[in-house]
Structure 1
Amino acid sequence: MGVNNETLYLKIEQNTIVYDRHVVLNDIAKMECTNEAVLRQLKQKKIYSFTNQKDEKKEKNQMQVFSVLKIIEQIHEDYPSLTISNEGESDFIIEYIPNPEKPKVMNTIKTVLLCIIIFFGSAFTIMAFNNDISVTDVFDKLYGQVTGTKADGVNELEVCYCIGLGLGIILFFNHVGRKKITPDPTPIQIEMRKYEKDVDTTFIENAGRGGHSIDVS
């Protein structure tokens, strides 16, 4: 198909999740072109099909690394004279999830177990830290210096410390239940994004070294 003086702007994220075994370009890419006919055709262009696992008892998630050059090559098969400007990643991952919906009961059980582990793990860490630095002795001495009397049992400093510790954790993680205190991303969200990016980068590099990446010949 002939296309003169037309430019296609192509943007693909580093990791894209699809739920259909047959992947079309619109599933993984954002595109812009002044020629609407070209855009409509390319959105429906099939670029890859994951292995059919219907013979197996349970379909497994599949991942495939692609080079954007391969996508450009496939587009040029239909539009040889089309200019393509890549605005996204040079290498990316397509992740196929055949069964996106998991049983809600299992998700609830996993969430409860995770909360229990985090709660007791955090409590043990805080207690171990307080024991290492002898925080009780520190508060007793400070209480005696400020008030001139010896602390008897739990004093005001320890109560304020406990309240401040809880408030500090809430403010640091920027969450009260499902509500965020500020629109900024939480520290956990930031670390999770860094972790996901590192995992994707490593997966892409390993696929390239192992020759498992789909690229131009």
Structure 2
Amino acid sequence: MDKPLYVRLRHRIQARPNQTIKLQDVAQLVGDTDIIEQVNNIAIHQVNMTDQSIVVLDVMRIIKEIRATGQELDIQTFGPAQTIVEIVYKKKKFRPMFFVAVWLLLFLGAALAIMNFHEDVSMRIVHQKIFKTITGLEDDKPLLLQIPYSIGLGLGMILFFNHVFRKRINEEPSPLEVEMFNYQQDLDQYVIMHENKESSKKIDDN
């Protein structure tokens, strides 16, 4: 009777250039200890320069490589059907001037967006009317309202994004993190469909 081997592919892994990707790198394995020791080091893919930055490994290729060892195994697969291999090259050096330029661009862009929004909704006039309603006085610059409002706007942004610099306020993900997660999921799905050679088959004109 074939011995069972349970295979669950990892969704995404990282690899170095020229690295040999083994079965234990791309999958979680459950089975008899002696079987896992024998299949753990099966070479699945050799990273080379033609791979560029992304490689998609299909579960059928994994099964084929395991079967090639000649062992009688009952292979059961769970989870994703592909593993995305991200090839990590040398990180670029930190450039202070580039960081400052991007920071200024984002800061000025956010500031202009907030000011334009306030101008569109006539926030200055609203503050003047609220100030007159509360105090009975007219003031072109009701700083008693504008200063706390500005501070509250900044605090509200901190609470909304759930971060103070790199420190997270609580474990709940921020809306930005959720959107980034959804974007990454869509990107991974696109990569799986377009980079995986086994996902489609074209008619040979020849």
TM-score by length of 2: 0.86
Sequence identity percentage: 29
Aligned residues: 199
Instruction: Say whether 1:196 aligns with 2:184.
Output: yes
Give 1:114 shift.
Answer: 3.0
Give 1:91 shift.
Answer: 2.4
Match of residue 158 from structure 1 = 146
Match of residue 181 from structure 1 = 169
Q: Any unmatched runs of 5+ in structure 2?
A: 201-206
Say which of 135, 142, 145 aligns to 2:133: 145
Match of residue 86 from structure 2 = 95
Give 1:168 shift.
Answer: 0.4
The 1-side partners of 2:107 and 2:114 are apart by 11
Q: Deviations over 1:166-208 (max 9, x none)?
A: 0100000011122111112222222211111111101111235
Match of residue 44 from structure 2 = 47
Match of residue 56 from structure 1 = none
Match of residue 203 from structure 2 = none
The 2-side partners of 1:17 and 1:214 are apart by 22
SS across alignment from 2:44? strand
> Contact 2:128/2:141 (CA < 8 Å) preserved in 1?
no
Task: Tell me the C-alpha RMSD between the 2 structures.
Answer: 2.2
Letter in structure 2 aligned against 1:180: R
Q: Deviations over 1:91-146 (max 9, x none)?
A: 232222243x332x23x554433322221111010000001111001110111111
The 2-side partners of 1:42 and 1:74 are apart by 9
Q: Check 1:79–1:38 CA distance in 2 against 1; reply closer, same or farther (3 A cut).
A: farther
The 1-side partners of 2:2 and 2:198 are apart by 32
Give 1:13 shift.
Answer: 2.5
Give 1:157 shift.
Answer: 1.4
Give 1:156 shift.
Answer: 1.4
Q: Any unmatched runs of 5+ in structure 1?
A: 54-59
> Contact 1:61/1:97 (CA < 8 Å) preserved in 2?
no
Moved >6 Å (runs of 4+) = none
